Structure 1
């Protein structure tokens, strides 16, 4: 059972509670969290469980056709496709320059605090925190909830609050900590909140069960994984290593299945095979839920389908040439070129119309490329060969490629696609943490601790799965009828991928270089890249090199510049600074440096 997907239809009393909660989104700095709801109907087992459901429901940042608190649905998308992937040089904004122009300065790090996208994301995330705080507050007060059950409810609420604050911390750095005890919500952002995030995940780890009644709920091991990630972002490598070792060896998903990589990489991105051994924590999505909207169908990604295609709209989120080149491998060793991958780039159909002949790149490639990127002449799931320019709104602006991890299949579209809006929704879950991510974070912690053989084994475990021939993309049996299936004897491209040897893991720096690159390959288009680059301390050199390279191919990022000391974090939204003015007329929120 998919908990969040099955519990979106609330009874009338809960809808009233949710409406009251939502009303706090714009003004959370103006009224105390503790006064958001009347106590009588809420401080009961039924009321508290309804509040907890509302806290989960805020994970996708969506309500009533837009983001929580207003703004375009995509502005608060939980997969951070704008703030983590586009800003990380993995994808172009796509479409054309005049569509959603506020994304362009985010991609080029020229945006300021007045950009409404930052305010939308801020409000939607604090709405989630507000719901968690109310759950905690009234759970403690409820007299009809057994203590053991209270501990689980509080564990889930604090896990979710840790997640929401993690989102804010990695985006804005210094943000106000508001919890269930806060009396003055105009709290300054002058404290590092990492210790509080740690405490929430530690509490959740100690109090949540290993197995949950519904798959969408956080369990003990999801909390342990997020605690390890929290340590890693603080460079607490020993603590991260210790907790990840326990997770890798003992962790199970919410259904009680031991964590493991799926045999096929592609099955992480298909609604028919989700909630599996690789699922650590997903935001649950569902199509055709009876609401007549796509609010529960990854509405934040509704723009991110090929343009002028069977998907109707909208041509955003186009993988970059720089990313595509990263999947080249040495035809003998099967390893990537960590330093010179942009030399001799993968051939594209840039500037070639769909009615002109084109032959795809014939060199050796990592097979994960063709489950991540749609490119001309290669099967686009079971929708036919990607036709190239006819599915792209403006090649010169955004390049020739299309996203693929979030695209539903033609054969199962009646079940897993939702056409209730002007752009599609999808039942494909959003991965917050999956086990491959855990393995690569664990590898990083092991490398930092000097345990290079263990780090290499974790990376090779990810690469072994990628090298499974059963998971390769194959050609169609009949290219004129892609629904007829694939010819399992002929791959769609020349796939060559192998494991690392001790030669490539001879030093800590060599190991880290390989691990960093593996995260790029494995987790591309999943919202991690920008935040990884920042915590590794290599954002400036990596992204400025990206601007130099990609800017010669597409016009969208020309003039982009990452400015050290400024660009590591997004600006505190000016609207929130204005709202934080206290009785003395001074704002309590302090802007990030150099904005």
Structure 2
């Protein structure tokens, strides 16, 4: 797919008729390239590449922050995983998403709608129309048409799945035969949107190959995994498990040895990846072939400052990595007291990190003061955070970031979003399959299968490399960068004020020996999904679907979880979430007002926003 993304800009220019305007309903601009040039196999493949390009929002940084495929706003900052970060006065629409106070005029949901329908679905549908016409004309064979069509329908399903995550079932169903999208309502029969998504994915799974010559293209297993996740949103466990079992039985995928292999550039497209969104840098100006939707989410302050300090992990998430004497999560008491943080403590003042036992995934997921941060240096805390009172004490999420040794070769050399890099986004990976299988087993009361699959992930975490290097100093003034007073980059893993023979923190992790009942199994599964997928844009959506389980989330409702988080958060950020209150009316984003204004009497607002 990297070769595909290099071509993306050329294809984008050729396919300008594929919805380039700001609105969902578009008019073809004067001088647009006619579809006629695409009526052969080469042209159709170019159209498909253009549709793939939209998945990551390439070349669309103006709207991509609200449309990000990584859902850092709707899935992460809206949950207990993370804060918006940065400063309260920057990107203010996200303040309302974080505080569950979204208005119908908020520009971020509007961006997501525009991306999903005006760009993604529209491109997929127009591509399918060209495929059908070219097959009718005999220019391509039936087999070629089927392969092209299967990819296009996978992509259409992906855009619909993403739209449904954010807006629920109040979205218009548009296919290649829709003559006038402006006349299509977004009020649908129960189950109609899910059926539309899974029908597309069933067709894709039946016709796509098990692997593709070019990485980044959809396969049958990608279609199965996405369909399983779509079913899980409605807790349709039997339908999801049947697909997950096929993926597992295929033997096609394995867990990579190290947890961080899913987040390092050098291990892109590994044996765990099922569908990976490709990223290129420095092939065009501003590296627009990378994932622009998280272009704001890089460290902002101090020695490694870039842009712009958004998407900072929460104190609640840090606390969630506490473990008990057996190395297991502390389900009921994890957030009673906060692990030590340096909120309000200057970098040149004394601060001692916690010695509490922690799940080793913690310091790969968030970066905190006094712990080595990749190969960049000792995290200096306050001086590296844009504004602690607004964004909390932790750096922007660590998983998508790159190493200092990769700067300017695998990160962008142009543009102002200087953290943009070549790290792919593992949209679907085998870890998802394993933990979703565990969830399905727990739901039907198969405690041993649930335990086996949860322990597979915990064992991998136990066997993975931990963050090494016990920092020996408690004051971190500017001259302590990177590895202590008088140090240099050459001291990484060898010297400075760091004992590189010791782990950076007290890491411990244990395996489950048994589950008392199905509720205990489900709670363990829910916790494992949070710890493994933290800050990856899934948490809010998981809480929402689990809210419909008999025992909800460990016996608590989604509202109890999030409102408890907001109350406890006042210990770290005394004012940011003050007065914030989550209710069931906040589970979905509103239909954007600008879309309602274009289709008066056709589109309807979600009931909770009327």
Answer yes or no: is 1:342 the counterpart of 2:342. Answer: no
8 Å contact kept, 2:5–2:53: no
> 1:59 is matched with which residue?
55
> For 1:496 and 1:138, how far apart are their aligned partners in 2?
56
Match for residue 17 of structure 2 among 1, 6, 20 = 20
> For 1:580 and 1:278, how far apart are their aligned partners in 2?
43
Q: What is the aligned length?
A: 567
Please list, as runs of the form range in 1=range in 2, the aligned pairs for 1:415-454 lying within 5 A after superposition.
415-424=409-418, 425-454=420-449
Query: What do the CA deviations read for 1:71-97 (whole angstroms, capped 9, x no partner)?
Result: xx3121110101110001211111111
Answer yes or no: is 1:457 the counterpart of 2:452. Answer: yes
Larger mean CA deviation between 292-301 and 185-194 belongs to: 292-301
> For 2:90 and 2:222, how far apart are their aligned partners in 1?
37
Shift of 1:535: 0.8
> 1:551 is matched with which residue?
570
Q: TM-score, normalised by structure 2?
A: 0.89
> For 2:379 and 2:351, how far apart are their aligned partners in 1?
12
Query: What do the CA deviations read for 1:36-72 (whole angstroms, capped 9, x no partner)?
Result: 98442222212211110111000112425422xxxxx
> For 2:237 and 2:528, how far apart are their aligned partners in 1?
19
Question: 3-state SS of the aligned residue for 1:374?
Answer: coil
Question: 3-state SS of the aligned residue for 2:501?
Answer: strand
Query: What do the CA deviations read for 1:162-218 (whole angstroms, capped 9, x no partner)?
Result: 110001111101100111000121210111311000101111110000010111101
**Structure 1 residue ranges without an equivalent (≥5):** 68-72, 253-258
Answer yes or no: is 1:120 the counterpart of 2:139. Answer: no
8 Å contact kept, 2:19–2:27: no
Match for residue 45 of structure 1 among 36, 41, 46 = 41
> 2:69 is matched with which residue?
78
8 Å contact kept, 1:216–1:281: yes
Question: 3-state SS of the aligned residue for 1:93?
Answer: strand
Answer yes or no: is 1:152 the counterpart of 2:174. Answer: no
Structure 1 residues 418, 212: closer, same or farther in 2, change over 3 A? Answer: same
Shift of 1:551: 2.8
Question: 3-state SS of the aligned residue for 2:428?
Answer: strand
> 1:580 is matched with which residue?
599
8 Å contact kept, 1:411–1:483: no
> 1:212 is matched with which residue?
212
Shift of 1:474: 0.2
> 1:570 is matched with which residue?
589
8 Å contact kept, 1:25–1:124: no
Please list, as runs of the form range in 1=range in 2, the aligned pairs for 1:101-120 lying within 5 A after superposition.
101-120=92-111
> For 1:574 and 1:129, how far apart are their aligned partners in 2?
20
Query: What do the CA deviations read for 1:203-253 (whole angstroms, capped 9, x no partner)?
Result: 11100000101111011111111111111112211111121111122153x
> 1:328 is matched with which residue?
322
Q: TM-score, normalised by structure 1?
A: 0.92
> For 1:275 and 1:472, how far apart are their aligned partners in 2?
22
Question: 3-state SS of the aligned residue for 2:66?
Answer: helix
Structure 1 residues 445, 37: closer, same or farther in 2, change over 3 A? Answer: farther
Structure 1 residues 329, 4: closer, same or farther in 2, change over 3 A? Answer: farther
> 2:604 is matched with which residue?
589
Structure 1 residues 27, 343: closer, same or farther in 2, change over 3 A? Answer: closer
**Structure 2 residue ranges without an equivalent (≥5):** 472-482, 495-499, 548-556
> For 1:495 and 1:568, how far apart are their aligned partners in 2?
35
> 1:70 is matched with which residue?
none
8 Å contact kept, 2:281–2:288: no
Answer yes or no: is 1:268 the counterpart of 2:262. Answer: yes
> 2:238 is matched with which residue?
238
Please list, as runs of the form range in 1=range in 2, the aligned pairs for 1:449-488 lying within 5 A after superposition.
449-468=444-463, 470-475=464-469, 479=484, 480-486=487-493
Shift of 1:516: 0.7
8 Å contact kept, 1:384–1:481: no
> For 1:115 and 1:240, how far apart are their aligned partners in 2?
34
